[in-house]
Amino acid sequence: MSKMRFAILGCGMIASYHADAINDIENAILVGAFDLNKESLEKFCNKYSVKAFSSLNEMLESENVDTVCICLPSGLHCENAVLCAEHKKHIVIEKPIALDNEQCDRIIKSADENGVMATVISQLRYSGSVNAVKEAVDDGKFGKIVLCDISMKYYRSAEYYSSSNWKGTFKMDGGGALMNQGIHGIDLLQHIMGPVVSVQAYAKTLLHNIEAEDTLVAALEYKNGAVGTVQATTSVYPGFQRKISVCGTEGSVVLSENIIEKSEFKNKNPFENIDFGTTDMKTGSRPDAMRYELHRDQIADFIKCVNNNTVPALSAREGKKAVEIICAIYESARTGKKIFI
């Protein structure tokens, strides 16, 4: 089978994860990239020995490109995803897929109308322990689930925000600690627990000199009857690992990053004798501390879906779910009201 030919749009921090991922997939090849910033473009293309396209149009018109990875500031995802779809390119879109429901719908519609496939990066979905917890939830192993909480107590330096012209802005980041850093966790919550039906929230900017929130708490009500809390901040030193706890009448589990840290069940423990390894992930305090392998697994799965014409687990429709929850949380924080989804 021929290799899927990728190009990368936006050669910043996350682009190298896509390039390393593509280079580690047998039936994928990175052919080129484009960035408005000439210096970033050249540095990236030299590092990966790929073509530096002279314009976005050249890249989109190229018959050598099957799929574009959109690694742009989040506020540019929608218009560029639509452009890629109109040029009949499949799309791998970094999280968040877009900044609001309307933008998500435009991407979904455009991919459907142009017959291309889209996936939204949520690489933690490709970790074994997360899926083991989801399976145990679906199998009723927790009994009645009472609580599902997430804590994302992260640290980002002042330079993290001051060195970027888009992070922490509403227009280009869509929000702060929750939309940028916290969306991974929100996606895992809704993946594990199913739909969120209502939210109530507080958002504050307590430390950083940014427009959006750097600290947020929310109470959630899930469709399955459970309730839970979300804590998200980029303001606390030293920053901790993300914790998700799922607590039911028959047993409970705590995930630390993507590893099961603790689990106890009245009867048989569904996670007994499964080695999920350990995690030394420091993404709570360092955004570049992650590894590329989960991106690789998601992109490899996407290639399989395109080849088999099956819908990817993280389709654009699926990616919209976390954005929808976050937008409702923001609306609640803004209005002081409980918001139904």
Ligand X SMILES: NC(=O)c1ccc[n+]([C@@H]2O[C@H](COP(=O)([O-])OP(=O)(O)OC[C@H]3O[C@@H](n4cnc5c(N)ncnc54)[C@H](O)[C@@H]3O)[C@@H](O)[C@H]2O)c1
**What does the binding site for ligand X look like in residue numbers (CB under 6 A)?**
10-15, 34-37, 40, 71-74, 76, 94-95, 121, 123, 164, 180, 290
Closer Cβ to ligand X, 156 or 243, answer by number: 156
**Residue of closest CB approach to ligand X:** 12
Closer Cβ to ligand X, 36 or 158, answer by number: 36
Min dist CB 141 to ligand X, Å, is 29
Distance of CA 281 to the CA centre of its chain: 16
Closer Cβ to ligand X, 94 or 324, answer by number: 94
Closer Cβ to ligand X, 57 or 101, answer by number: 57
Min dist CB 223 to ligand X, Å, is 27
Min dist CB 12 to ligand X, Å, is 2
Tokens read off for 148: 């599902």
- Going edge to edge, which strands form the sheet with 118-120? 51-52, 28-34, 4-9, 67-70, 90-93, 118-120
Give how far Cα 288 sits from Cα of 12, 156, 226, Å.
12, 11, 34
Tokens read off for 103: 């933008």
Min dist CB 145 to ligand X, Å, is 27
Closer Cβ to ligand X, 14 or 30, answer by number: 14
Min dist CB 17 to ligand X, Å, is 7
What values do phi and psi take at 277, rounded to 5?
Answer: 75, -165
Closer Cβ to ligand X, 76 or 341, answer by number: 76
* Beta-bridge mates of residue 9: 34, 70
Min dist CB 187 to ligand X, Å, is 10
